[in-house]
Structure 1
Amino acid sequence: MNLVIKLCLILIFLINLNYRCSDGVERQAEILRGVTIRNWPYADRLSGKYEGYVVDLMNEIADIIGFEYRLYFSPDGKYGVIQDNRINGMIGEVYNNRADFAIADITVTDPRKRFVDFTEPFMENDIAILVNKKNVGNIRSFKDLSDSDLAYGTYRSGSTHHLFSQSTDPVLHKVYSQMEKHPDWMASNAKEGVDKVNSTKYAFIVEGSFAEFLTGLYCDLTYIQDKKQYSPRQYAIAMQKDSPYTARFNSAIKKLKQNGRLAQIKARYWKDRCEDESKTTNNNDNNRQLKNDNLVAQRPPKGPEIKLADSSSYTVSGTVHRPVLITSAKVIVAFILLMAVIVY
């Protein structure tokens, strides 16, 4: 009988462990489904493992809140635009309950808010003009671009294209009209857009943060941001409407901003390799190839010594799991006392 009692005590204790997470709150371990998109440095899959800025960010959030999550790529490779009153891409995955959240360089827009809720923004920027240095000329604004002899475009399906299509500003309307007249100027992905900038007289209209990353990687490129700031924008995590996790995600993101961790994560990926290598190389970065319809996903070089948030994650069949961490000293003490009772 004593043996049965002891076994029951062990069973109860083990069950209790499944209800404790890293923030000390007792509840069952949660597994969330997340969707992302291949767009380095935000996310990609290297050697069977998801890596990138937003993966590091999600690992930090998971550590703070205490949950596991699984990632998959957007089946249609899109961010989320409305067509025939239906939403596609990552936003559609969340709206149709196939994912609990979408994390990538997703711009917060009013049309998307019809289908999902957004968290506290984790990055803010504006649209920019990515161009080869030899083609810059007198281009300092979107008006200059519209009057130039350069071809130009943006992603065929994304928030920047939507911005131009809906704008009543005469300059942006002119830019949009020219892109509509020349559908071949549009790019389906980053690879196509950057290839055009590198090889032809072409300007690629993208978010400023992405342009900043690219010009630190490809030394012949530069970017221009219009002083008028047509569209200040924010990146945030898309959540299901009225999700109970939204408030917890918001709290975690605010904490990462306040303690400087968010800036550390970005610094790990946004490196000016051109400046670092200009004294010792011939800018071989200019010749880096793009493949797999995406920018080459290169692990960031060594920078400030920071703890890698994904050091305790592992990958199985394209799934990133976060192990539940038991941090309470009381749990450890309780385990020792339980073992003592069993032994004696």
Structure 2
Amino acid sequence: MTVSPPPRGRGTTDNPDNRYAPTRCEAFDDGWHQEVPPSRATEVRQELAKSVITRNRSPDVGFDRSLNPYRGCEHGCIYCFARPSHAYWDLSPGLDFETRLIAKTNLAERLEEQLSRPGYLPAPIALGVNTDAYQPIEREQRLTRQALEILLRYRHPVHLITKSALILRDLDLLEQLAAQNLVSVAISLTTLDNELKRIMEPRAASPAARLRCLRELHAVGVPVSVLCAPMIPMVNDAELEQLLKAARDAGAQSAGYVLLRLPLEIAELFEDWLRAHFPQRAEHVMSLVRQCRGGANYDSRFGLRMRGEGPFADLLARRFQVACKRLGLNRRELRGLDCQRFAPPGAQLALW
């Protein structure tokens, strides 16, 4: 089956029904053929959130709380594990996820409110985990910068992960946080091939721009690491060692990787993307994915969902370990962020 590629700047043209929808839509040729433009402008809705700090108990991640200024992501990464979350808003994980975004416009107010609550115990907040906190709409919305300003004022530790060069806009805040051991940044780097980046992560920063972020952050004392995620069999996995070396040369001292994850609706979207861009190897790629997931498209078990199992997954893990050892990455455990500095403004006045 031939699948048409999405328009330039979008990860997919598909917009499948979300899994909670009470009805399903099917295309039907009634003889009145019309050319419908495949592109769609980005729409941003406003949300007044009741709370903005999300808690989790997952043993697969190194944090228990996160902060996400946006729902949906304009970067359009075809593999994004967050796509299925759009179903909670009666939206599609496909094109809707890239074009119908939701901004938590009262984020600053709610964040201050939660940090100021009596009995709040600080621990590093992961900022921008479900969707990228520095996606293009952040230029106008500035919600991520507002959050960083509050975290700096409260002296609260924060982890950031992004694939956007927009993070350099906030270098002034990040440098101040780093001086107090309150921040670390991970740059997601998936390929050094500009054309592959264009079709896989259409509105994310170029590989060169992400390496520049590592260099400039490192230069002002911000601890930086690289996250090679996801590694996709026969698509970008051959670049693993090159990615790690390029990141090390740019200042990264630690690294991680994640094997491709295809939960829920993502599997169908990803297979369509493969058939559109890599028709001759699509079946081979999916065969390797299923070999790593017990014969299925996805295995959600803790401890396995990030790494997979089987010969290919084991080889990828071994390659990562050998490359990190050779490059001096992950040589020593990174110093933890400082939670002892936390001080809500005005807290001392309450003692009088």
Q: Normalising by the residue count of structure 1, what TM-score does the alignment of the two structures yield?
A: 0.25
Q: Give 1 or 2 for the bigger CA radius of gyration.
A: 1
Bigger helix fraction: 1
Instruction: Give TM-score scaled by structure 2 length.
Output: 0.25
